[in-house]
Amino acid sequence: MKPDLTPITVQTIAYDDQEPGTSGLRKKTKVFIEKPHYLENFIQSTFDMLTQNLFEGNADAFKDKTLVVGGDGRFHNAVAIQTIIKMAFANGFGKIMVAKNGHLSTPAASAVIRKNKALGGFILSASHNPGGIDGDFGIKFNPAAGGPAPQSMTSKIYELTKSITTYLTMDFPDVDLSELGTFTVNGQSVEVFDPLTDYTELMQKIFDFDAIRTLFSGVFDFRYDALNAVTGPYAKHIFCDLLGAPETSILHGTPLEDFGGKHPDPNLIYAKELVDLMYGKDAPDFGAASDGDGDRNMILGRGIFVSPGDSLAILVNNAANYIPSYRRGISGVARSMPTSAAVDLVAKAHGISCYETPTGWKFFVNLMDAGKCQICGEESFGTGSDHVREKDGIWAVLAWLNIIAKSGKSVETLVTEHWNRFGRNYYQRHDFEGLDTAKAKKMLDDARKGLSQLRGQIFAGSKVVMADDFSYKDPTNGEVANNQGLRIKLEDGSRVICRLSGTGTGGATLRVYHDVYRKDWREDPYKVLVPLNQTILSYLNIATYCGVDKPTVIT
Ligand code: VG1
Ligand code: CO
């Protein structure tokens, strides 16, 4: 039977809760499944935003445009991808590129969008949040530059979702995503592409694969934990097929719809199996892990964890010496405001600019497009460079491997040499999850009011030199983002920051970031951080406002 390719207009009812957060629209999976047309409303609103923002309402605008679609393989991805293909067809896209099996990591999506000059792409992922019917689902839209949609787009999408009445779709059989190939009807095509190709090519251009291959051919013992998420196939292809690591070096390398019940978040708590291995007897030389959609990374050496802020600083300090594509030097760096200030010291030593942005990768994109920043990172295990416009887990692992291979130094040596030269930023993030949203907001509102009186006072043994609610003015376009987190800076170089998460799906999560600077790196991290922690918790009065005094997760 010939498929019917007439666009169908479907009536729908708008929702008022489709505001994208730090990284796309994230909800419980059941919300996407049980609320009628929930996904469709968001997709159509994104298409309408594009026609309105970029094409002055011209409905034919998508005729010669490409849309990329893929996701992290979590439960409901397969259904959502078919929905998007049909809607993109009905909305007139000339070409829809869908990753084989629907598996496309976030950094690879960025690479594919850029290489194929697509108008943009949808990434179906709730990133590091657990998956499955009782877990989370999410969707992110990345426009042509390949990075997360800027505020100007996400707020327009949100506005449109609140008044949407109809969407367009078509009625044709599901596309087989298990085989590569293209089918074309009436000048419109769907291409099922290999998600590894463009990304691998890019990695080969950046890094010294020969040096890493030589490293792997020796006694160097390497482990990579994909946490049953999207990076498994990328890791097997790059680390094993191309670089020669044994297959046993990849842990949890098959993407599973529920991540095998794991929380695909590469940190000391959720990647415990790898952490235990790296701190155990006969530990490997190097261990790394990534998250659900492949944009985060955790780096470990034998018996040593590299905190994300240190990792960023060490990569920036060593990139030009060892990594081929950065040999001319790094043009500039950026970090999110709560990220440790370790990289600032490196930037100063190298005489390059260092930008401080709000949390969320979208704020780095403009700086990269303007050539102001080349490597950037977040404390939440995100590191990346301007090779794409997303943070990139496998890129960070390859960067470390490349530096180790060319310098001949272990992770521990690289880290301690760094601390010897620059001093150490003792760092910890405490998350208080599942708080009552109204109470958590009231607590921060009241804490904000007291900030102006803090200046000049003694806080955790040092004088407060600055206390405010962070505002950011984008140096490339002047856009301002207010209320990005309370920050208190002390005379001894330490900082403490408090903000609410924008990626959670249940209640509120308070994040408290501690960044204590010391010239001596041999101090006991626990002792160093405790005074700041105790002082900020009593300043917030968290026990009275929220009824808790212990974090649920420490990273
Ligand atoms: C968190 C992190 C932030 C990161 C974001 C998306 O946001 O703190 O640094 O960019 O997740 O990461 P929030 O608002 O919950 O603190 V991912 O790997 O979900 O794309
Ligand atoms: Co992620």
- Give me the DSSP letters along 3-21: PEEEEEEEE----S----B
Active site residues per annotation = 127
pLDDT higher than threshold 50 for residue 380: yes
Half-sphere exposure of 466 (CA within 13 A, CB side): 12
292-329 residue pLDDT tens: 999 999 999 999 999 999 999 999 999 999 999 999 99
pLDDT of residue 4: 66
Q: What is the rounded distance in angstroms from the CA atom of residue 21 to the CA atom of residue 140?
A: 10
Pocket test of ligand 1: the residue of 72, 136, 227, 503 to mutate, having most ligand atoms within 8 Å of its CB, is 503
Residue nearest to atom 1 of ligand 1 (CA): 503
Closest atom, ligand 1, to C-alpha of 22: 14
Residue 352 near residue 332, CB atoms below 8 Å: yes
Instruction: For residue 535, count other CB atoms closer than 10 A to its CB.
Output: 18
Q: What is the rounded distance in angstroms from the CA atom of residue 430 to the CA atom of residue 183?
A: 50
Distance 59 CA to ligand 2 centre (A): 33
Average pLDDT value for the chain? 94
Of the listed ligands, the closest to the CA of 510 is: 1
Distance 22 CA to ligand 1 centre (A): 6
Tokens read off for 166 = 């109809």
Residue nearest to atom 8 of ligand 1 (CA): 380
Distance 503 CA to ligand 1 centre (A): 6
pLDDT higher than threshold 60 for residue 72: yes
Residue nearest to atom 16 of ligand 1 (CA): 501
Residue nearest to atom 2 of ligand 1 (CA): 380
Residue nearest to atom 11 of ligand 1 (CA): 503
Of the listed ligands, the closest to the CA of 429 is: 1
Distance 230 CA to ligand 2 centre (A): 10
Pocket test of ligand 1: the residue of 19, 22, 124 to mutate, having most ligand atoms within 8 Å of its CB, is 22
pLDDT higher than threshold 90 for residue 149: yes
pLDDT of residue 10: 96
Closest atom, ligand 1, to C-alpha of 499: 16
pLDDT higher than threshold 70 for residue 226: yes
Closest atom, ligand 1, to C-alpha of 336: 9
pLDDT greater at residue 244 or residue 152: 244
How confident is the model over 68-90, as a mean pLDDT? 96
pLDDT greater at residue 240 or residue 56: 240
pLDDT of residue 493: 86
Pocket test of ligand 1: the residue of 359, 391, 430 to mutate, having most ligand atoms within 8 Å of its CB, is 359
Question: How far, in whole angstroms, is CA 442 from its chain's centroid?
Answer: 28
Of the listed ligands, the closest to the CA of 227 is: 2
Instruction: For residue 554, count other CB atoms closer than 10 A to its CB.
Output: 16
Closest atom, ligand 1, to C-alpha of 129: 19
Distance 129 CA to ligand 2 centre (A): 9
DSSP string, 243-299: T---GGGEES-S--TTGGG-----STTTTHHHHHHHHSTT--SEEEEE-TTS-BEEE
CB burial of residue 11 (10 Å; 0-12, 13-18, 19+) = exposed
- Per-residue pLDDT band at 378 (split at 50, 70, 90): very high
Helix (H) or strand (E) holding 427: strand 424-435
Closest atom, ligand 1, to C-alpha of 26: 19
Least confident of 113-117, 186-190, 331-335, 346-350: 186-190
Residue 475 near residue 372, CB atoms below 8 Å: yes
pLDDT of residue 221: 97
Closest atom, ligand 1, to C-alpha of 503: 15
Of the listed ligands, the closest to the CA of 382 is: 1
- Per-residue pLDDT band at 505 (split at 50, 70, 90): confident
Of the listed ligands, the closest to the CA of 502 is: 1
Q: What is the rounded distance in angstroms from the CA atom of residue 192 to the CA atom of residue 174?
A: 13
The residue with tokens 């463009």 is 198
HEC assignment per residue over 203-215: HHHHCCHHHHHHH
Distance 122 CA to ligand 2 centre (A): 14
Distance 313 CA to ligand 1 centre (A): 20
Residue 426 near residue 528, CB atoms below 8 Å: yes
pLDDT of residue 1: 46
pLDDT higher than threshold 60 for residue 2: no
pLDDT of residue 75: 96
pLDDT of residue 335: 97
509-544 residue pLDDT tens: 999 999 999 998 988 888 889 999 999 999 999 999
pLDDT of residue 3: 61
Tokens read off for 417 = 């040499």
Distance 109 CA to ligand 1 centre (A): 18
Over pLDDT 70: what percentage of the chain?
99
Residues having CB closer than 6 A to ligand 1 are 22-23, 127-128, 291, 295-296, 336, 359-361, 378, 380, 382, 501-503, 511
Beta strand pairing call for 95-103 and 188-193: parallel
Over pLDDT 90: what percentage of the chain?
88
How confident is the model over 536-554, as a mean pLDDT? 91
Report every protein residue that has its C-beta within 5 angstroms of ion ligand 2.
127, 291, 293, 295
pLDDT of residue 262: 85
Closest atom, ligand 1, to C-alpha of 504: 15
CB burial of residue 2 (10 Å; 0-12, 13-18, 19+) = exposed
Distance 203 CA to ligand 2 centre (A): 19
